[in-house]
Amino acid sequence: MFLTWYSPIRLTFFVLLIVFVLSPGSVYTKGFEEVDLSLRLPAALSRFSSYADVAAVGGASAGSKWASSINPASITWEKIPGRYHLSLSPQYSIILFDEGTNLHVTAESITWDARQFGTIQLALAQGFSNHKTTRQDLKFGYDLDYAQIQWARHVTQDWALGGNFNFAYSKLQFDMGPLEVAKNKGESYDLRIGTLYKAMDKLLVGLVLDYGVSPGRTTLYDYSGVGPNRIRTKDTTYQFISRAGASYEYKKDSAFYFDYQFGWFSNDTGTLRVHRFLTGIDHQVFQPLFIRSGIGLDTKGNIALTCGIGIYPSKEFSIDIGYQFNMFPELIPEFGRSNLFTISIGIIF
């Protein structure tokens, strides 16, 4: 039988070995050089996982039963124990790019299991970068504030539905030395719906649909002094993302994950389409310790490698740590390849 007690451990360590043996130069990346940054940046952010357990399994989570999933229906699948049925989770991530840009993201979420009324989750996130020079010799700065609310409820014992609305405000700036080159300010409004279904014993399948609108305002500065002092333009970026996923729980709380993600991003500069395949394994070594690993692929030839651990000393407290290499190939033309480190803490009341 293939799934013996030791085969998940062997597979996990095999993927971990790939993560550490493959050098950055051996991972092939291409396909985004001719696409405008206004399309590539939201495409890259759609890969981001703030929860360390999801990041460690390659970002695959559409079929996950855990509330950390990208699928809003997942927040209601597992009942929250405790006196008040409340779960708090602070998270921190840092993305280190080869060219020196570092992006910090802090996030906070609270989930309340209201029993027959469903489950509600509120989350906030704050992102900011340092100011380092890109491959185009321009200093880059970025700030982001994000908020979301999602709700989900079991329709039947084997089927759940959920919805999510999120809003973000961002500022992006490029400078050349002390001179301003360009600034962009914008908002994004996004609606996400998801469903999670128990197709058979130990197998969950999920579907997530996401539609967003991001109006933006850009100011271009003529630092040469030849043309107009500044030019202001407006544009709106539209995005549609669909994700189908599955998880197979080969033993309690240990599972294989697989997602397929399609993304469409469009504005006045053009259109970007992405196809991604995300897979990973989450294996419980013994009661308090989980090990995780994963791989992300896209149809442009980009490979991302991930790994991590989870420490669960009690039902009321947990720590998850994740690592991702080259998860944001859309940003390589400016910033180079990336290394992401993330940590999540879970507290139940």
Burial-class residue 243 by CB neighbours within 10 Å (0-12, 13-18, 19+): buried
- Span 259-280, pLDDT tens digits: 999 999 999 999 999 999 999 9
pLDDT of residue 287: 85
Q: Is the pLDDT of residue 19 over 90?
A: no
CA distance 242 to 211: 9
pLDDT band at 228 (very low <50, low <70, confident <90, very high): low
Q: Is the pLDDT of residue 28 over 60?
A: no
Amino acid, single-letter form, for residue 313: P
Q: Is the pLDDT of residue 18 over 60?
A: no
pLDDT of residue 224: 60
What mean pLDDT do residues 194-199 have?
A: 98
Q: Percent of the chain, pLDDT > 70?
A: 90
Lowest mean pLDDT among 8-12, 79-83, 182-186, 272-276: 8-12
CA distance 104 to 272: 26
7-348: which CATH topology?
A: Porin (2.40.160)
CA distance 303 to 119: 35
pLDDT of residue 225: 57
pLDDT of residue 268: 94
Neighbours of 228 (CB within 10 A): 8
Q: Which residue spans within the chain are E strands per DSSP?
A: 86-97, 102-113, 119-129, 132-133, 139-156, 159-176, 179-200, 203-221, 230-251, 254-267, 270-286, 289-298, 303-314, 317-325, 338-348
Provide the residue ranges of all domains of the chain, joining segments of one domain with +: 7-348
Neighbours of 97 (CB within 10 A): 22
pLDDT of residue 5: 35
Amino acid, single-letter form, for residue 44: A
The count of C-alpha atoms lying within 13 angstroms of the C-alpha of 82, restricted to the half-sphere facing its C-beta, is: 20
DSSP, residue by residue, 94-149: EEEETTS-EEEEEEEEEEEE-GGG-EEEEEEEEEEE--EE-TTS-EEEEEEEEEEE
- Span 307-322, pLDDT tens digits: 999 999 998 999 999 9
Residue 265 is given by DSSP the state E
Neighbours of 155 (CB within 10 A): 12
CB 230 within 8 A of CB 218: no
